[in-house]
Amino acid sequence: MELRIALVPGDGIGPDIVAQAVRVLEKVAAKGGHTLRLKSLLAGGAAIDEKGIPLPDETLEEARASDAVLLGAVGGPKWDAVPSSIRPEKALLGLRGGLGLFCNLRPAMLYSQLAGACPLRRELVEGGLDIMVVRELTGGIYFGKRGRNDEGAFDTMSYKKTEIERIARKAFEIAQRRSCHLTSVDKANILETSRLWRATVEEVKADYPDVRVDHLYVDNAAMQLVRNPKQFDVILTENMFGDILSDEASMVTGSIGMLPSASLRSDSFGMYEPIHGSAPDIAGQDKANPLATILSAAMMLRYSFNLTSEADEIEQAVEKTLAEGWRTADIWSEGMKLCGTAAMGQAVCDAIK
Ligand code: NAD
């Protein structure tokens, strides 16, 4: 199979961590007999330096022409003084919007080897955690009409039924690939958009009879995530609730350097990136943890190329590397083997048989 992947390394630690993910992709592709067609593209501060804007047209065009995008991170103090219209972060919004990505997947995985980094009591997360937050990305209150008048200010939350239906279908499909359990989160006791959300999820459910669905109010969901996180597998929710809950779920796992993400649309195209930023404080020092980016590459194989066993192979290699005791500084603890970015990438490659 030919895999056409656009690489957007970006700024700060971006190039270092993307390079390690590419090594891992090369290893699994060679093993599975797949051909990688990689194209490196400019975005963020790197693009401002070279082209004067954060998202050059050719980057968006080349990204559109590929099957998937792997992104590092953008931004850094060097570009703090540029006008807000061309800030590096505009590249992210431009890519997400320009590529029509409406579905954000944020897995919150706690590896049993890193259980000590979890702020929750050990018995609550015994055996590790594996939650997938499916967040609607292009509707809701962040995109509604807003304004100010003499008396105050307002923001508007609105959803079309079609917007709810397409994200619900994605979430049901993802639940089918996992444990067939979906928790839809809303505030249907108060919000009209939430009542439509709940009714639409119930309608879509008829097409996925093997998936068990629970509905939770968002305040309860926030509480349950720290009270008993193991009750969740796939959480489906709208844009703002998803923004908050996915951050809450990710903190449960303890380390920002471990968490991948995906932004998808209805076809198989997707953009994959770690949830952390460009970490300018450790850029170019071989200190960054590349595992979130390597795990993003695994998500890419699973969701854009349907290469499930190759994706599993990368995830198992990451687990094996952790079990062998390899740790970058952000996840290091007493008795573990401290390593740099490149050595961590090498260890994951070595763990792929
Ligand atoms: P950050 O995620 O870059 O860093 C926060 C802290 O976590 C820092 O101490 C950093 O060293 C550490 N960290 C982050 N990723 C790490 C990794 N892989 N390995 C080890 N340690 C890691 O957040 P920030 O400091 O708020 O932002 C820095 C820059 O990144 C800003 O310009 C911001 O706008 C940008 N940013 C970009 C994205 C993105 O591209 N998606 C997301 C968030 C922030």
Annotate 250-262 with b (16+ C-beta within 10 A) or e (fewer): bbbbbbbbbbbbb
Between 155-159, 192-196, 250-254, 342-346, the lowest mean confidence (pLDDT) is in 250-254
User: Is the same domain home to 255 and 113?
Assistant: yes
Of 259, 294, 314, the residue that ends a domain is 259
Residue 142 and residue 227 in one domain: yes
Pair 110, 54 in one domain: no
Using pLDDT thresholds of 50, 70 and 90, give the confidence band for residue 250: confident
pLDDT exceeds cutoff 90 at 320? yes
Please tell me the predicted confidence (pLDDT) of residue 35.
98
The per-residue DSSP string of 270-328 comes to EEEEESS---GGGTTTT----HHHHHHHHHHHHHTS--HHHHHHHHHHHHHHHHTTEE-
Residue 207 a catalytic site member = no
* Residues 177, 313 within the same domain: no
- pTM of the model as a whole: 0.93
The single residue of 80, 214, 219, 312 carrying the catalytic annotation is 219
For the chain, what's the residue count? 353
Average pLDDT over residues 7-36: 98
| Residue 142 is among the residues annotated as catalytic for this protein | yes
Residues 97 and 109 in one domain: no
Strands across the sheet containing 129-136: 35-40, 2-10, 68-73, 270-274, 260-264, 103-110, 129-136, 234-237, 181-186, 212-217
pLDDT in tens, 224-247: 999 999 999 999 999 999 999 998
Measured CA to CA, the distance from residue 240 to residue 168 in angstroms comes to 16
Same domain, residue pair 143 and 279: no
Is 80 exceeded by the pLDDT of residue 255? no
What pLDDT was estimated at residue 111?
A: 87
The verdict on the CB of residue 71 being under 6 Å from ligand 1 is no
Could you read off the pLDDT of 157-202 as tens digits, one per residue? 999 999 999 999 999 999 999 999 999 999 999 999 999 999 999 9
Residue 288 alpha carbon, nearest atom of ligand 1: 19
State phi, psi for 232 to the nearest 5 degrees. Answer: -100, 145
Instruction: Based on the residue annotation, tell me whether 150 is a catalytic residue of this protein.
Output: no
Residue 157: predicted pLDDT: 98
State which of 256, 281, 338, 341 you would mutate to test the pocket of ligand 1, scoring each by most atoms of that ligand within 8 A of its C-beta. Answer: 256
**223 C-alpha to center of ligand 1: Å?**
27
Can you tell me the distance from the alpha carbon of 313 to that of 323, in angstroms, rounded to the nearest whole number?
A: 15
Domain boundary among 259, 276, 297: 259
Are 91 and 123 members of one domain?
no
Lowest mean pLDDT among 134-138, 173-177, 256-260, 297-301: 256-260
Shared-domain flag, residues 255 and 269: no
Residue 46 has pLDDT above 90, yes or no: yes
pLDDT of residue 286: 98
The domain total for the chain is 2
Asked if residue 253 and residue 205 are part of one domain, the reply reads: yes
Question: C-alpha angle with apex 178: 216 to 209, nearest 5 degrees?
Answer: 65
pLDDT, tens digit, 9 for 90 and up, residues 53-89 = 999 999 999 999 999 999 999 999 999 999 988 999 9
Domain final position from 259, 292, 320? 259
Whole-angstrom distance, CA of residue 321 vs CA of residue 308 = 20
Dihedral pair phi/psi, residue 43, rounded to 5°: -160, 160
Domain limits at 137? 105-259
Give yes or no: 219 in active site.
yes
pLDDT value at position 79? Answer: 97
Same domain, 284 and 241: no
| Statement to judge: residues 137 and 237 lie in one domain | yes
Q: What is the mean pLDDT of residues 100-120?
A: 91
Which strand (E) or helix (H) includes residue 73? Answer: strand 68-73
Distance CA 189, CA 120 (A): 29
Measure 277 CA to ligand 1 centroid, in angstroms: 3
* pLDDT(210) > 80: yes
127 Rama class: left (phi>0) / alpha (psi -120 to 50) / beta: left
Confidence of residue 253 (pLDDT cuts 50, 70, 90): confident
Residue-averaged pLDDT of the chain: 96
CB contact burial 13-24 (16+ within 10 A = b; e otherwise): bbbbbbbbbbbb
Same domain, 289 and 229: no
112 falls in which pLDDT band (50, 70, 90)? Answer: confident
> For position 1, which CATH number holds?
3.40.718.10
250 vs 284, residue with greater confidence:
284
Between 142 and 180, the higher pLDDT residue: 180
Q: Is 243 a catalytic residue?
A: yes
- What whole-number percentage of the chain has pLDDT above 90? 90
For range 146-152, the mean pLDDT:
95
Q: What is the mean pLDDT of residues 303-332?
A: 96
* Spatial separation of the C-alpha atoms in residues 111 and 258, rounded to whole Å: 9
> Hey, how many other C-beta atoms are within 10 angstroms of the C-beta on 210?
8
Q: Given this model, what pLDDT does residue 252 score?
A: 82
Instruction: Assign residue 196 a region (left: φ > 0; alpha: ψ between -120 and 50; beta: otherwise).
Output: alpha
pLDDT at residue number 300:
98
